[in-house]
C-alpha cells in the first residue's frame, strides 16, 4: 500500500485520524490476541484471525489474490482452518494449485511462540488435507518466497546499524512489510513495533480496504482525491487571505502572518499535487522492462525466450519475474545449483530495481508543464502579496514581508533552474514542497498565536465551510471514484472468469 495528498492545513487532523484507525479495537481477548497468516501459493493471501481463531480480515496481496477472493464467501467470519480450506479449494479449482505449482509458503505471526506454533499447525494441516481431498499432494514451507527474501535482504542492507531490522525473522519482516505498505509507516519504524501491535494496526487498516482495490483503482482513487484536496487547499488559502486582508489596517501584524502563510501554503499545495499524482502513477514492480534486460534475466533462468516471464499483458516486469521465480524455486529441489541461480538472480533484480526506480521517478514533460504553471501561479500570489505592502504601514513589518517574498521567489527560481539544468525527480520536487510546507506551518502558528480564542473559532468556522462551497469538485471526485470501482470490479470479474474457464479446459 503506496501515500495520499495531505494539504498543509489539515495535516494534524489527518494524522490524528490515521493514528486512531491504526490503534483502535483493543477490547476483549478475542480482539487483542490476533494472529497474522500469510499464504503464498501464488496467489498471495493475507488473513487476520482473532483470539478465537475466527478470520476477521482476508485480503489479496497481489492481483491473483484479489481475483481468488473476489465475491467469495466462507472465509471472513469462519474459523481459520475452514477459511484456509476454502482458499485451497478455490486455488485448485481456479488452476493456481496444480501439478506444476504444488507448494504453499505459510508465514504466521501471533502474540507468542505457543500461539504461533498452534496456528501454524492448524493452517498446515488444513492445507495438506484439503489439497489431498482435491487429488493433489502439496508441500508446505515456512521459509518465505524468493521475492520476499530478496526484499528482506535489501532492507537489511539499507539499515546495517539498526538492530531491530537486522534481527527480523522472515515472519516478522513479512508482517512489518505489510504494515509499512498499508499503514504508511517506514519499514524501519515497523521493525521496532511488537507483533501484537503490528497485527492490530494491520487489522484496522485492512477494515478500510475494498476487495476490489486493484492497483489501478487505488491510483485512480488517490489521483481523484488529490485533485479535490488541491481545490480544498487553495480554498483554505483563500480563507486566510480574505480574513487577513480585512485586517491590513487595523491589525497589520496579523495580516502579515496570514499573507505569508497563504503565499507559502498555496505554493506547497500546487506543487504537492503534482508530486503526489506523479508518485501515485509510479509502480516499480509493474514497470515494463526493455527487451535487453528481459533477455538478461531469462538467461539467468536458462530460458530460450522471455515468454515464461511475461505477465497477462505480455510484458516482463519485476513482478512477473518474481512470480515466475517464486513458483519455480519453491517447487524445485535443485539444491546448490538452485542457490547459485537465486544468488545471481537476486543481484540482477536488485540492479534492475534501482534502475527502474530512477526511471519512473523522473518527472515527465507533462509534469514539468504542470510545475511551470504552479510556479507561475505562486509568483502571481507573491506579486499580489507584494502589492499589499504599502497598506501595512509599519516599516518593520514591511521589511519582514519583503524578506519572505524574496525567499519565496528564490525557492521558485531555484526550482526552475534545477528543472532547466537536467532531469528532475519526484523526490526532488517533494523537497521543495516540504520547504514550503514548513514555512507555511511556521506562519500559520504565528498567525493563530496573535488571535484571540474567539477569533480562532471564527477562522475555524470559515475553514469548516470550505467544503460546502466545493460541491461541484466533490461530485466530480466521487464520480471518478465510482467509475474506477466499476472498472476494477469488471477487471477482477473478467480475470476470474478467464481463470475458471482455463482451469476447466
pLDDT tens string 272-318: 999 888 888 888 888 899 999 999 999 999 999 999 999 988 999 99
Reported confidence tier of residue 336, pLDDT bands at 50, 70, 90: low
Closest CA to 381 of 358, 359, 404: 404
**CB neighbours of 468 closer than 8 A, spacing ≥ 6?**
none
**Most distant CA atoms of the chain, gap in Å:** 87
| Distance (Å, whole) CA 418 – CA 264 | 20
DSSP secondary structure code for residue 466 in this structure = T
Beta pairing class for 103-109 and 55-60: unpaired
Q: End-to-end distance of the chain based on CA atoms, in angstroms?
A: 35
Q: Would you say 448 and 442 are in contact if contact means Cβ atoms under 8 Å apart?
A: no
What strand order describes the sheet that includes 139-141?
Answer: 55-60, 44-49, 35-40, 103-109, 139-141
Residue range 429-455: mean pLDDT, rounded: 91
| Distance (Å, whole) CA 470 – CA 491 | 32
Q: Would you state the cell numbers that stand for residue 3, as one nine-digit string?
A: 501515500
- Axis-axis angle for helices 113-133, 80-93 (nearest 10): 40
Look up the pTM and report it: 0.82
Residue pointed to by grid coordinates 500570489: 381
Computed over its alpha carbons, how large is the radius of gyration of the chain? Answer: 26
DSSP secondary structure code for residue 364 in this structure = P
pLDDT by residue (tens digit) across 397-409?
Answer: 778 888 888 999 8
Across 10-50, where does the E strand assignment appear?
A: 35-40, 44-49
504 exposed, middle or buried (CB, 10 Å; 0-12, 13-18, 19+)?
exposed
DSSP secondary structure code for residue 391 in this structure = G
**Residues 271, 217, 89, 75: is their CA dihedral positive or negative?**
positive
Q: Would you say 432 and 411 are in contact if contact means Cβ atoms under 8 Å apart?
A: yes
| Distance (Å, whole) CA 178 – CA 158 | 18
pLDDT by residue (tens digit) across 215-271?
Answer: 999 999 999 999 999 999 999 888 888 887 778 778 888 888 888 888 899 999 999
Q: Is 25 helix (H, G, I), strand (E, B) or coil?
A: coil
| Distance (Å, whole) CA 241 – CA 4 | 26
Q: Would you say 60 and 67 are in contact if contact means Cβ atoms under 8 Å apart?
A: yes
Percentage, residues of the chain above pLDDT 90: 56
pLDDT by residue (tens digit) across 22-48?
Answer: 444 444 566 678 999 999 998 999 999
**Residues 58, 59, 64, 66: is their CA dihedral positive or negative?**
positive
Give the chain's domains with CATH numbers.
Answer: 33-206 (no CATH), 215-282+362-477 (1.20.120), 285-360 (no CATH)
Amino acid at each position: 500500500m503506496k501515500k495520499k495528498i495531505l494539504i498543509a492545513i489539515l495535516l494534524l487532523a489527518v494524522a490524528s485520524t490515521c493514528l486512531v484507525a491504526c490503534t483502535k479495537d483493543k477490547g476483549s481477548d478475542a480482539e487483542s490476541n490476533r494472529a497474522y497468516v500469510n499464504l503464498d501459493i501464488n496467489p498471495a493471501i493475507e488473513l487476520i484471525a482473532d483470539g478465537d481463531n475466527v478470520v476477521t480480515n482476508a485480503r489479496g496481496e497481489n492481483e491473483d489474490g484479489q481475483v481468488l477472493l473476489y465475491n467469495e464467501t466462507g472465509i471472513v467470519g469462519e474459523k481459520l482452518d475452514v477459511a484456509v480450506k476454502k482458499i485451497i479449494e478455490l486455488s485448485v479449482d481456479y488452476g493456481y494449485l496444480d501439478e506444476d505449482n504444488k507448494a504453499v509458503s505459510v508465514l504466521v505471526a501471533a502474540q507468542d511462540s505457543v500461539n504461533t506454533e498452534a496456528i501454524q499447525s492448524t493452517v498446515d494441516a488444513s492445507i495438506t488435507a484439503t489439497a489431498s481431498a482435491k487429488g493433489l499432494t502439496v508441500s508446505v514451507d515456512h521459509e518465505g518466497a524468493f521475492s520476499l527474501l530478496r526484499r528482506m535482504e535489501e532492507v537489511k542492507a539499507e539499515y546495517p546499524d539498526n538492530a531491530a531490522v537486522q534481527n527480523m525473522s522472515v515472519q516478522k519482516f513479512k508482517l512489518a512489510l505489510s504494515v509499512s505498505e498499508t499503514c504508511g509507516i517506514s519499514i524501519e519504524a515497523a521493525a521496532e513495533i511488537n507483533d501484537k501491535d503490528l497485527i492490530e494496526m494491520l487489522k484496522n487498516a485492512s477494515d478500510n480496504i475494498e476487495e476490489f482495490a486493484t492497483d489501478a483503482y487505488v491510483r485512480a482513487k488517490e489521483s481523484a482525491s488529490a485533485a479535490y484536496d488541491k481545490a480544498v487547499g487553495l480554498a483554505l488559502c483563500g480563507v486566510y487571505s480574505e480574513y487577513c486582508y480585512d485586517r491590513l489596517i487595523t491589525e497589520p501584524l496579523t495580516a502579515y502572518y496570514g499573507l505569508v502563510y497563504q503565499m507559502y501554503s498555496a505554493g506547497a499545495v500546487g506543487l504537492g499535487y503534482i508530486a503526489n499524482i506523479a508518485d501515485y502513477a509510479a509502480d516499480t514492480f509493474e514497470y515494463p522492462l526493455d527487451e535487453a534486460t528481459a533477455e538478461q534475466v531469462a538467461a539467468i533462468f536458462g530460458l530460450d525466450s522471455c515468454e515464461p516471464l511475461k505477465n497477462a499483458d505480455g510484458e516482463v516486469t519485476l513482478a512477473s519475474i518474481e512470480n515466475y521465480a517464486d513458483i519455480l524455486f519453491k517447487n524445485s529441489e535443485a539444491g546448490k545449483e538452485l542457490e547459485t541461480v537465486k544468488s545471481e538472480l537476486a543481484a540482477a533484480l536488485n540492479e534492475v530495481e534501482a534502475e527502474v526506480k530512477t526511471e519512473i521517478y523522473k518527472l515527465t514533460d507533462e509534469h514539468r508543464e504542470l510545475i511551470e504553471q504552479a510556479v507561475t501561479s505562486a509568483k502571481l500570489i507573491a506579486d499580489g502579496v507584494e502589492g499589499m505592502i504599502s497598506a501595512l504601514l509599519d516599516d518593520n513589518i514591511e521589511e519582514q514581508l519583503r524578506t519572505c517574498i524574496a525567499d519565496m521567489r528564490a525557492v521558485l527560481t531555484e526550482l526552475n533552474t534545477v528543472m532547466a539544468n537536467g532531469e528532475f525527480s519526484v523526490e526532488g520536487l517533494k523537497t521543495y514542497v516540504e520547504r514550503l510546507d514548513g514555512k507555511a506551518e511556521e506562519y500559520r502558528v504565528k498567525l493563530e498565536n496573535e488571535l484571540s480564542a474567539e477569533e480562532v473559532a471564527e477562522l475555524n468556522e470559515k475553514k469548516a465551510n470550505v467544503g460546502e462551497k466545493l460541491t461541484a469538485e466533490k461530485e466530480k471526485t466521487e464520480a471518478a471514484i465510482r467509475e474506477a470501482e466499476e472498472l476494477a470490479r469488471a477487471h477482477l470479474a473478467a480475470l476470474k472468469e478467464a481463470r475458471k474457464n482455463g482451469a476447466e479446459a
